[in-house]
Chain A
Amino acid sequence: MTVATAPVVASDAAEAGSHKNRSRRHPLSAPRPRFSLGRLLPYLALTPFAAYVLIFLAVPTVLAVATGFFTEDGAFTFANITGIFTPTVLGTFWSSFWVSAVTAVAGAIIGALVCYALLGLKPDGVIRTVVNSASSVFAQFGGVMLAFAFIAAIGSQGLITVFLSDRLGINIYENGVWLYQVPGLLLPYLYFQVPLMIITFMPALEGLKVQWAEANATLGGTRFTYWTRIAAPVLAPSFFGTLLLLFANAFSSYATAAALISQGSQIVPLQIRSALRSETVLGRENMAGALALGMIVVMVVVMWGYSVLQTRASRWQR
């Protein structure tokens, strides 16, 4: 949500700011200074962040993606780009996409339901506080630790696996050890997607005012009309924003998958690893840049779809 709604927030703030400028700080009678330090100061404060984004995000991205257009010897080429359109690589893009989409949608729905349930509890009650802080921790609990936790719990010699097969005679890996393949990513990803949904969506739900429900009731509305006519339209923009955040979160996730999947490089980040480190299929280092570009394109398309959706969802606000 942070990523997606940032522009909206920024423009709101700018609007509010300029309004303030005109009406309060600079009365119409006062002469308007052209370049005052006071007006530049807010931008100056942005410098550390802008420099950070430039150095650690923009420059590395441009450099990495640029390598995709060159051969090892530095000659310009489209070979790496066309390399994306081979069945194997396209297959990994599809795997990456559906894993991200499934975990984002499932995570968003489960997370939203948990938020709704929490809404019925006292805001400063024990359960809500515990769920909130636990979610903040679990949302960041990804990577190798998470993969290891899953291997220890439901790996082929994991605690739960062994218990199920020894005590209950259930072999969860009857048809192969799926934990180490693409479907095996769903559970670990949900593990951090659901809490992320809770911590980002909860504030939006808390923003629903009691007065709206009362107004609805006063005007003869039902609970159903409250949720469909009032709550849903109000919540839609932040719901879809969070959904996009979850998608991006899963799409770019690398360490969890790298620790779980060691065969076939079945999602795009693992293809990038393979291109960079392979000692058997040589000369594909620059392919990594092209794959990164492909990931960016997918994200751009998804963000575009999101903005179309967002425009529709927030039409009532204008």
Chain B
Amino acid sequence: MFKKRTLGAAAIIAAAAITLSACSSDSSTPAGSTGDIDATTATSAEAFGGVDALVEAAKAEGQLNVIALPDNWANYGAIKALFEEKYGITVNSADPDISSAEEIQAADNLKGQDTAPDVFDLGTAVALASTDYFAPYQVSNWAEIPDENKESTGLWVNDYTGSMSIGYDSNSVPEPTSLEDLLGDDYKGAVALNGDPTQAGAAFAAVGLAAVQSGGTLDDFTPGIEFFGELNKAGNFIPVDATQATIASGETKVVFDWSYNNLAVASTVDGWKVTTLPGAAYTSYYNQAISKDAPHPAAARLWQEFLFSPEAQNLFITGGAYPVTLQAMTDAATVDTDALSAIGELDGELVTPTEEQSEGAATLLASDWAAAIG
């Protein structure tokens, strides 16, 4: 009996020793942290022993792979630069102009390589459909994010939203005050979208806005598709993908896009102004998520802590986007009031499609869009 027990104990100790040595051999344990931490399963900074320990672990990794974050999108250029400067971690920005769906494909294709994306910035439809790819994580100020803006375990979290706006070249076209204005002769060959609504979230939202502005609801995008069909018949729709370059060259004089994108152009192109139509405003959050196969798991988690900190959230405001902790920051007086007053508060009736509405609209667009603008 006694013998058996010692044998059992010895076995346990041996097993523990093997496990522990296995752990310490492949984990880059930062100095000052207590014990071994598996960053890939950490669901909060507490797992590291606090934010400071997380910072140390992330610095030890030294790199962060981000994907689909254009410098001129919601001020990401400044946000990435500040992260690098603050933590001394190199941000590798891959494929800035790809779609949310392609981010997930990249995670699939690059799985196991050290160039795989650590974090995602995704439209809601793709985020909801791809939860298998995410590792849950709750940032320190988790409580400041309203419940309806996050998945309960932290698989994905709403981060920032824009309002669907209309940018226009004030030097050559008058300010549009309603959708009907855009059908007039002033806007011949001028009105563009940022992408194809059957592919790109921003263009999808533009059709949604046109639907609600035409008196419809998000349950049925038909009025929106019809509006762009009429626009095309009037010769006012230009089927060019609007970019900063097409705006600067004067090819796309009126552009439906997120307020932060249009505002980013306004700061560089002379005469470019941004307006929103009175009535319903269409908003849609972009989401943050950590890849469960992140090659730099600690840096990925630090990136989340950073993005939801007032510092980065205020940078979103500077870039023309509305961050998810805006209310909490307003209450705590940490909000950059100058930046906020520059972009104006979101007003009017805010509409955002539900998952069901998005799917219905996607099916409708897939079958009707090409014909409407063909």
Contact = CB atoms under 8 A, between A and B. Distances in A.
A176 B238 CA distance: 7
Given A86-B367, A176-B232, A279 B101 contact: yes
Given A157-B251, A262-B241, A181 B374 contact: yes
Contacts of B363: 281
Given A277-B98, A277-B101, A282 B129 contact: yes
Interface in A156-193: 156-157, 173-177, 180-182
A interface, by DSSP: helix, strand, loop or mixed?
loop
Contacts of B204: 280
A263 B374 CA distance: 8
Contacts of A261: 239
Nearest to A158: B251
A279 B100 contact: yes
Pick the most buried of B123, B201, B239: most chain A CB atoms within 10 A of its CB.
B239
A27 to B, nearest CB: 60
Interface string B63-104: 000000000000000000000000000000000001111100
Interface in B213-243: 232, 235, 237-241
A280 B239 contact: no
A264 B374 contact: yes
B337 interface: no
A279 B241 contact: no
B198 A173 contact: no
A285 B109 CA distance: 14
A252 to B, nearest CB: 20
A264 B373 contact: yes
Contacts of B175: none
Interface string B252-265: 00000000000000
Interface residues of A, number: 33
Given A91-B370, A264-B373, A277 B199 contact: yes
A86 B366 CA distance: 11
A48 to B, nearest CB: 28
Contacts of B198: 265, 274, 278, 280-281
B328 interface: no
A180 B240 contact: yes
Interface of A: 86-88, 91-92, 151, 155-157, 173-177, 180-182, 261-266, 274, 276-283, 285
Contacts of B99: 277-279
Contacts of A280: 123, 125, 197-201, 204, 358, 361-362, 365
Contacts of B240: 156, 177, 180, 262
Nearest to A280: B204
Nearest first, the 6 A-B pairs at minimum CB distance are A263-B239, A262-B241, A264-B370, A279-B100, A176-B235, A279-B99
A261 B198 CA distance: 14
Contacts of A182: 374
A274 B101 CA distance: 11
6 contacts: A155-B251, A181-B374, A262-B240, A277-B101, A281-B199, A283-B129
A281 B201 CA distance: 10
B195 interface: yes
A245 to B, nearest CB: 29
B358 A265 contact: no
Interface in B156-211: 188-189, 193, 195-201, 204
A263 B239 CA distance: 6
Given A180-B240, A280-B199, A280-B365, A266 B374 contact: yes
A160 to B, nearest CB: 14
Given A262-B196, A278-B199, A175 B370 contact: no
B362 A281 contact: yes
Given A176-B189, A176-B237, A177-B238, A265 B370 contact: yes
Contacts of B125: 279-280, 282
Contact of A281 (B122, B189, B365): B365
A262 B252 CA distance: 13
B358 to A, nearest CB: 7
B239 A279 contact: no
B249 interface: yes
Given A151-B251, A180-B238, 7 more contacts: A156-B240, A181-B374, A261-B239, A278-B198, A279-B100, A280-B198, A281-B366
A282 B251 contact: no
A248 B358 CA distance: 38
B49 interface: no
Nearest to B359: A282
B250 interface: yes
B126 interface: yes
B369 interface: yes
B371 interface: yes
Contact of A274 (B193, B196, B367): B196
A182 B250 CA distance: 23
Contact of B251 (A87, A88, A92, A156): A156
Nearest to B98: A277
Contact of A263 (B201, B366, B373): B373
Contacts of B196: 262-265, 274
Contacts of B358: 280
Contact of B189 (A87, A177, A263, A285): A177
Pick the most buried of B102, B125, B199: most chain A CB atoms within 10 A of its CB.
B199
Contacts of B370: 88, 91-92, 264-266
A281 B364 CA distance: 10
A166 to B, nearest CB: 13
B38 to A, nearest CB: 29
